[in-house]
Structure 1
Amino acid sequence: MTDSLTEMLDERRHLIDVATWLFGSETAADQIVQETYRRWYALTEPERAAITSPRAWLTRVAGGICLELLASGAPHPPPVTRTASRPGRGLLPPVRHDHVAHRFAAACSTGDAPALRAVLSPDVLVVSDGGGKVRAPLDPTHGAEAVTRFLSRLLAGVEAAVEPVNGRTGLVLRQNGRAVAVVSVSVAATDVTAVWIVLNPDKLEGWHRP
């Protein structure tokens, strides 16, 4: 696992596929995968370094969460938070997900920091991939205030467009028609709980516009 988190974002699609296959719902799978990542970052650096195959570890943990939920008879995963769970933060149908994602996108498009902060969960996280070619944090950014500051810096001087990303409502940031970031979100209740950002220019070529 590189410090740029490239592999972590690359593995997300694979893990969602695994969780969807086991649990039967991509909406549920999105939160299962988010919980899988939280467990990864809960490990100490020596513990992570001792894992010879992060992909296998992540897949095993995601599968284990699915099986635990299925064995318990849970209709969907419990809310995913770094702190105590709050009432009513279950999974959303796609329309509700899109509504929250559009609120997030609107706040990003206008650069409205208070509106952006309002749509973020208090324990939201950002995972970004610069691929070693664009500066990106070495670890996830946690918390609504920190994530708002991070996104505000990222949004400065760019055009934000709402577009499908991996089949869900997402955001593409461009400068003079060239994509500089592709953003997708995880959602629970009325909050964005995680923001996934691809900054690696090698992965953005298909997003450029004339």
Structure 2
Amino acid sequence: MTDLLPVFDAHRRLLFGVAYRMLGSVADAEDTVQDAWLRWSAADRGDVADPRAWLVRTTTRLALDRLTSARARRETYVGPWLPEPLLTDTAGDPADDAVLGEQVSLALLVVLESLSPAERAVFVLREVFALPVVEVAGVLGRSEAAVRQLAHRAREHVAARRPRSVAGRQEHREVTERFLAACLGGDVDALLAALAPDAVLLTDGGGRTKAALRPIAGADKVARFLAAVAGEGASSPGLRLELAEVNGLPGVAAWTDAGPFVAMSLGVADGLVHQVLVVLNPDKLTGLRPRVTPA
């Protein structure tokens, strides 16, 4: 058993990255990686020529199984369903940055939700992790031609639905800082100055906490909603609203004395906020605890 864990741990970040993008859930991704470990510890490794390929194949198939049941549950979900946010401040670890910080934004994960399970798997493995077509074909048990077709459809679908021109990191951070200051002050005028006229806000409370059950469209409505939420949240004991790296981009996260409270991810273009994704469901905020603690 002692020789199994180092091999598995060498690929653990990669496996989590695959499972998280496949499922949009921190908890489900962690469970999937644990299931992959159980399969690995019980496998006849004499037949495993490439442990990395074996583990990625196993994790992807386990994630596909979970995705099928998860989609059925989401049909009865209360209000908009958003992926679970994840703090990606990885304390400068290049390995974590590569697995968690690239192409993991909440906005992209929302788009991936509209792909078929097979298209999502191909997009994640090919476009995010750059696995060869032959390897992806082996993972899915499909021909290389079928994988290329799935990849083409997935790329076109994502390109058509992805948020428009994304701001550079510095611009994104500056706009997020202005947005955070306006939220902290409950300042409707300052929020209006930070929001694009056609801004859209989605809130995910999952029936567990107060949230809008439909998208809110238009800068004025979005600003007034956020100001009202800020006013209500100010009474929460120990509320701390901070700038944080949420899913690879500057965003906003908040904690109270009771634990994680909210995560906000912003879509920024042309110096303004076009999209606000707000996760309030407490069941989805486990990823607001830093995954890597500096030594």
Find the counterpart in structure 2 of residue 196 from structure 1: 277
Kindly indicate which of the two structures has a greater share of residues assigned to helix. Answer: 2
The alignment's C-alpha RMSD in Å is 3.6
Q: CA offset at residue 102 of structure 1?
A: 1.4
Alpha-carbon contact 2:85-2:247 (below 8 Å) kept: no
| Matched letter for residue 171 of structure 2 | R
Counterpart of 1:125 (choices 200, 207, 210) is 200
Note the residue ranges of structure 1 that are not aligned, 5 or more in a row.
Answer: 14-24, 38-52, 70-76, 81-89
1:110 aligns with 2:185: yes
CA, structure 1 residues 154+67, in 2 after alignment: closer, same or farther (shift >3 Å)?
Answer: closer
Distance in 2 (alpha carbons) for counterparts of 1:189 and 1:92: 7
TM-score (norm 2): 0.46
Counterpart of 1:165 (choices 246, 250, 256) is 246
TM-score (norm 1): 0.62
1:63 aligns with 2:155: yes
Distance in 2 (alpha carbons) for counterparts of 1:174 and 1:132: 20
Find the counterpart in structure 2 of residue 145 from structure 1: 220
Distance in 1 (alpha carbons) for counterparts of 2:158 and 2:115: 17
Find the counterpart in structure 2 of residue 72 from structure 1: none
Q: CA offset at residue 203 of structure 1?
A: 2.0
Q: CA offset at residue 33 of structure 1?
A: 6.9
Note the residue ranges of structure 2 that are not aligned, 5 or more in a row.
Answer: 1-74, 87-101, 121-149, 291-295
CA, structure 1 residues 170+62, in 2 after alignment: closer, same or farther (shift >3 Å)?
Answer: farther
SS in 2 for 1:186: strand
| Matched letter for residue 184 of structure 1 | S
Larger Rg: 2
Distance in 1 (alpha carbons) for counterparts of 2:221 and 2:160: 33
Q: Percent identity?
A: 30
Deviations 1:72-126 (A, max 9, x none): xxxxx7x74xxxxxxxxx4322111111111111211222221111100111111
Distance in 2 (alpha carbons) for counterparts of 1:96 and 1:62: 29
Distance in 2 (alpha carbons) for counterparts of 1:195 and 1:114: 17
Distance in 1 (alpha carbons) for counterparts of 2:106 and 2:281: 22
Find the counterpart in structure 1 of residue 172 from structure 2: 97
CA, structure 1 residues 115+177, in 2 after alignment: closer, same or farther (shift >3 Å)?
Answer: farther
| Matched letter for residue 10 of structure 1 | P
Distance in 1 (alpha carbons) for counterparts of 2:191 and 2:176: 11
CA, structure 1 residues 169+155, in 2 after alignment: closer, same or farther (shift >3 Å)?
Answer: same
| Matched letter for residue 63 of structure 1 | R
Q: CA offset at residue 184 of structure 1?
A: 1.0
| Matched letter for residue 64 of structure 1 | E
Find the counterpart in structure 1 of residue 210 from structure 2: 135
